[in-house]
A and B are shown apart, each in its own frame.
Chain A
Amino acid sequence: MSAELAGLVLDLVAKAAPDAEAEVTVVRGELALTRFAGSAIHQNVAEDIGKVRLRLHTEGRTASSATTLTSLDALEALVERTIGAARLRPEDAGWGGLTPPSPLSGEGNYDPATAAADPGARAAVVRAFVDAAGGLETAGYCRTSETITVYANSAGQSVTARATAAITDGIARTCSSDGVARSAAVRLGDLDGAALGEHAAARARLAADPVPLAPGRYPVVLEASAVADLVGFSAWYGFNARAVAEGRSFVELGHEQFDPAITLHDDPLRPDALGVPVDAEGAPKRPLPLVLGGISTSLTHDRRTARQAGAESTGHAVPGGERFGALAGHLCLRPGPEGPDLLAGLDRGLLVSDLWYTRVLDPRTLVVTGLTRNGVWWVEDGRIVRPVRNLRFTQSYLDALAPGSVQAVGARAESIPGTYGEGRTSTPGVRLASWNFTGGAAD
């Protein structure tokens, strides 16, 4: 039905503006999320998703519109509105053209059972999380989603992709501490609510009764959730081709800007990747190396930035990307070799679970301020000595990962859901030579 809808919109455009280049995206599916707090489900929501997006380029001008309405009248109005808007715009010299016919590598990672998951299935995961916390107060969510995307354009590209995702993210709480556990997967069946609840509770107990620590520079082991923040900011602010073109990015391709232990890919085709394997411009997503052995290697492009740079789209267009560029959504930091635990090499320093409310002070230097959250511990001779209170940091992520700064990369990657529930990052923890803690959070 979505394919017919997309074809109908293209036909309507062809009748109204025969010379227009047009692309239509129809997204359908369901998003459901079961939230719990105080160890009880308190908000349980779901939505039937249906949206049609049209972008067209006519007489040298570009406009886009979207609607949730799918009657013929509504679709005719969508076409008329979009053509009218385009004709009133100034010329768009940067138009990147439409994606030519190009097949996808596959339809996407999809699990029918997850697509059909009912609120009872999500409640069961929550029940297991709560029970495994051993009486500690718990809070968090279990989410499932099904997305079916049809993309078609007047240049002949026509693809259908589908994906499912399941995420559980929760905390367990003592009177003085929180512990967190989170995971993202294609299949709800791969999420073990009990194991996550047990882990969160164990971490909360280990973090109980924290003591203050003087601000300063300390070596750190960042667990996977914290590393996901470094990796994401590096990609979105740095390896975004638009940011590079505007001079806002630190990236210099071919330069050793990271420690040799850092190899970072965007890989949307892994069997555990979340999301559909087609970008917002209908381009097939494909793996892209961003950093190889510490050397900055590639940028993420959509068709607009690719045309300006004389390059090809890398399949990273996102809705609304005209304003902020092309973004990587399937980041994978390559694990290090098997070896001693990351903590084993930490003589005196801090183990950090999670980072919170991180904000970029300057994109060129990638200086970020934020706080630790969900557990911080003082470590001596590779062993946790005591929990410490949350700390504020002001740290250049680029400096933290610079050549000579990464002492070790963990051997096992975890699947960390995106902060806002979209996408995920595959990353291990890392041990860094220095992290600049600039204040103690007031507990």
Chain B
Amino acid sequence: MPEFDLASAAVQAALDAGAHYADARLTVRRYESMSAHNGDIEDLTQDESAGIGVRALIGSSWGFYAVPDPGTAAARHAGERAARIAQASTLVPGAPIQLAPVDVRQDSWANGCEIDPLSVPLSEKGDLLAGVTATMREHGADIALASYDAWDTRKWFVSSEGHRIAQHVRECGAGMNATAVGDGETQRRSYPGIRGHFGTAGWELVRSLDMPGNAARIAEEARALLSAPQCPPIETDLILGGEQMALQIHESVGHATELDRILGWEAAFAGTSWLDLAQLGSLKFGSELMTITADPTLPGALGSFGYDDEGTPAQPVDIVRDGIWVGALAGRDSAALAGLPYGGSMRADGFNRMPMVRMTNVGLLPGQHSLDDIIAATDDGIYMDTNRSWSIDDRRLDFQFGCEIGWEIKNGNRGRMLRNPTYTGVSPVFWGSLDMLGNDLVYWGTPNCGKGQPMQIGHTAHPAVPARFRGVRVGVTG
């Protein structure tokens, strides 16, 4: 195939220029997004990008160069430039990089997709978004927004070790939110989550969300929040809905267990981690109910793939087992340095970015209880759902998260609605207080995970269920 030939030419050029390892990804991506505002379609974007990114390893540094719209000469040029860039790094050298061994594969992979999102008529998509925003306006929203995004990505990967892997990944998702403007503040309700719900799936995912059936409800809730009592500043039992649990996992477990952060490679910007590799296998991260895996093989989840962007086949990895920290998200370079057996978490945001350690589908194993069971078992507490704000320190230890909506829980019953609910904690203490886990498992897709320099936006998912935590500080305000 010409795509493999171009990638092979780039790899060979990097080797000819002195690299002792090189790989190349030729990527063609189509992206479509539409948004509606108060009943009108306000934006429609259809982008396409095609290009090749080449990674070359010399000594202690990767060199990377990307070109758009490549022919053979441009691909070779990219390979040579990648090697020259890596060579320049020897002015400030470190320890030589090794790569963890991986099976060399020639393969192809595509995710399941019943209805191609890009083939669904724009009129149908527009009617959906315009309709739900009109409904939200009719039911009390001052600002009603809805949008969808769809990506169709084809990648051809070649390495100097012999990989030749083609992948076709189709992703999409949608969401909506209603904002009510009050006297001096705003309140917002979103559905299904803060920015929607996304997966490696076709348009059938969007149809399954039943956005029209939820539009009126969230608008009415946003309006009602303006007059709801403020979440009190107390310490209490906290029940989190599944969507907020996805955020909790993402920020306090997913990022904390990225090996590049643990090794200090992201120290200046994204930060490091409170985790110490010397404690892998013994550190108590949370209660015994806490078992978290990173599993890129989950059908339909947004962080799923056949192979990561350095050719490592997808496979599940335990991160926390029965409350003990046992694993990390890694690439071949960081895994080799840390002495871990497996990478498999390296992905890039497009052809023009170098792969880096990214979350895959990092999530909780579910428990036995329904949300109603958890509420019924709680004498005094607060139930919060749908993320509104998130902030965590650069070691992923101290966090303060806000939700869109809360309810008092008294004697096992859901009571008054509460506005501006927030909670704060320290990761192992918070996870250590987990004492009830729900069974309503959803693979929440997160299409906006920022990391790296230049900034890359990653797609991850978080299998999550409602859960209860004991003795949490809530209601922090400015």
- Assuming the contacts A37-B268, A46-B64, asked whether A323 and B42 have C-beta atoms less than 8 A apart, the reply is yes
Question: Which residues on the A side are within 8 Å of B94 (C-beta)?
Answer: 38-42
Is B402 part of the contact surface with A, judged by Cβ < 8 Å? yes
- Does A43 lie within 8 Å of B354, measured CB to CB? yes
Residues of A within 8 A of B336 (CB): none
**B122 touching A361, Cβ below 8 Å:** no
Which residues of chain B are near A370, meaning CB under 8 Å? 391
Please state if B69 and A66 are interface contacts (CB–CB under 8 Å). Answer: no
Q: Which B residues are CB-close (under 8 A) to A373? A: 393-394
Chain A hits for B147, CB < 8 A: 323
Q: Does B91 contact A (CB under 8 A)?
A: yes
A123 and B391 contact, CB distance less than 8 A: no
**In the bound complex, do residue A44 and residue B47 qualify as a contact, i.e. CB atoms below 8 Å apart?**
no
Q: Contact: B88 with A439, CB < 8 Å?
A: no
Contacts A41-B61, A130-B92, A361-B402 known; A356 to B420 CB distance under 8 Å? Answer: no
What's the Cα separation between A390 and B398 when bound, in Å? Answer: 10
Are A420 and B455 neighbours in the complex by a CB distance under 8 Å?
A: yes
Which of A88, A141, A361, A436 contacts B268, CB < 8 Å? A141
> Interface 1/0s, chain A 122-163, versus B by CB < 8 A?
111011001000000101110100000000000000000000
User: Size band of the B side of the interface?
Assistant: 35 or more
Asked if residues A46 and B65 are in contact (CB atoms below 8 Å), the reply is yes
Complex-state Cα separation, A82 to B43, whole angstroms: 12
What 1/0 flags go to B65-100 for Cβ under 8 Å of A?
111110000000010010011101101111101000
Of A35, A122, A358, which contacts B453 at CB under 8 A?
A: A35
Do B88 and A123 touch (CB < 8 A)?
yes
For the complex, is B267 an interface residue (Cβ under 8 Å from A)?
yes
Interface status of B44 (Cβ within 8 A of chain A): yes
Please determine whether B268 and A169 come into contact, CB atoms closer than 8 angstroms.
yes
> B391, A89: Cβ atoms under 8 Å?
no
Q: Which of chain A's residues have a CB closer than 8 A to the CB of B41? A: 89-90, 92
Interface: A383 (CB within 8 A): no
Asked whether, in the complex, the Cβ of B66 is within 8 Å of the Cβ of A369, the reply is no
Within the complex, which residue of B42, B95, B179, B352 is in contact with A248, where a contact is CB–CB below 8 Å? B179
In this assembly, does A396 line the interface, its C-beta being within 8 Å of a C-beta of chain B? yes
A429 to B476, CA, bound (A): 27
Kindly state whether residue A67 has any CB partner on chain B within 8 Å. Answer: yes
A170 to chain B minimum Cβ distance, whole angstroms, is: 6
Contact B85 A68, beta carbon cutoff 8 Å? no
CB-CB nearest in chain A for B91: A123
Please indicate the chain B residues that have their CB under 8 angstroms from the CB of A47 in the complex.
Answer: 53, 65-67, 352
> How far, in whole Å, are A341 and B44 apart by their CA atoms in the complex?
51
Q: Is B448 interfacial (CB-CB < 8 Å)?
A: no
Restricting to A33-56, which residues have a CB under 8 Å from any CB of B?
33-51
Which residues in chain A, 108-128, are within 8 Å of chain B measured between CB atoms? 118-120, 122-124, 126-127
Cβ-neighbour of A41 out of B50, B60, B95 (below 8 A): B60
Cβ–Cβ < 8 Å partners of A170 in chain B: 268
Task: Check B400–A441 contact: CB distance below 8 A.
Answer: no
Q: Do residues B422 and A441 form an inter-chain contact, with CB atoms below 8 A?
A: no
* Cβ–Cβ contact B391 & A357, under 8 A: yes
B88:A441 contact, CB within 8 angstroms: no
Question: In this complex, which of A40, A51, A71, A358 has the most chain B Cβ atoms within 10 angstroms of its Cβ?
Answer: A40
Interface of A is mostly: strand
Verify if A8 is at the interface (C-beta below 8 Å from B).
no
Q: B240 on the interface (CB 8 Å rule)?
A: no
B69 near A68 with CB under 8 A, answer yes
CB distance from B11 to the nearest CB of A (A): 17
- Please measure, in the bound complex, the distance between the C-alpha atom of A262 and the C-alpha atom of B396, giving whole angstroms: 35
Measured CA separation A79–B113 after assembly (Å):
28
Q: A246 at interface (Cβ–Cβ under 8 A)?
A: yes
Q: Find out whether the CB atom of B43 lies under 8 angstroms from the CB atom of A322.
A: yes
| B424 proximal to A (CB < 8 A) | yes
Query: What is the minimal beta-carbon distance from A442 to any residue of chain B, in angstroms?
Result: 4
What's the least CB distance linking A310 to chain B, in Å?
Answer: 20
A106 at the interface (CB under 8 A from B): no
Q: Are B186 and A141 in contact (CB under 8 A)?
A: no
Quick check: B69 and A70 within 8 Å, CB to CB?
Answer: yes
Contact residues in B for A396 (Cβ distance below 8 Å): 478
- Is B62 in the interface zone, CB < 8 Å from A? yes
In the bound complex, residues from chain A placing their C-beta under 8 Å from that of B453 are 33, 35, 141, 143, 421
Residues of A within 8 A of B60 (CB): 40-42
Q: Is the beta-carbon distance between A442 and B397 smaller than 8 angstroms?
A: yes
Contacts of A127 in B (CB 8 A): 91-92
Is B391 in contact with A69, judged by CB distance below 8 angstroms? no
Answer yes or no: B363 CB below 8 A from chain A CBs: no
Any A CB within 8 A of the CB of B3: no
A359 at the interface (CB under 8 A from B): yes
A64 at the interface (CB under 8 A from B): yes
Instruction: Give the CA-CA distance A372 to B99 in the complex, in Å.
Output: 36
**Nearest CB to that of A398 among chain B residues?**
B478
Are B181 and A45 touching (Cβ within 8 A)? no
Q: What is the 8 Å Cβ interface bit string for chain A, positions 247-266, against chain B (1 contact, 0 not)?
A: 11000000000000000000
**Residue contacts A-B, CB under 8 angstroms, 27 given:** A33-B454, A42-B97, A43-B64, A45-B64, A45-B353, A47-B65, A47-B66, A62-B44, A65-B47, A67-B48, A69-B48, A70-B69, A85-B44, A123-B92, A127-B92, A171-B268, A246-B142, A247-B142, A248-B179, A361-B422, A364-B186, A365-B478, A369-B422, A373-B394, A394-B476, A439-B424, A439-B476
A residues near B (Cβ < 8 Å) are: 31-51, 62-71, 74, 78, 81-82, 85-86, 88-90, 92-94, 118-120, 122-124, 126-127, 130, 137, 139-141, 143, 169-171, 173, 178, 246-248, 320, 322-323, 356-365, 367-371, 373, 390, 392, 394-396, 399, 420-421, 436, 438-443
Q: Which 7 A-B pairs have the closest CB atoms?
A: A40-B94, A119-B88, A68-B68, A247-B181, A41-B89, A367-B478, A139-B268
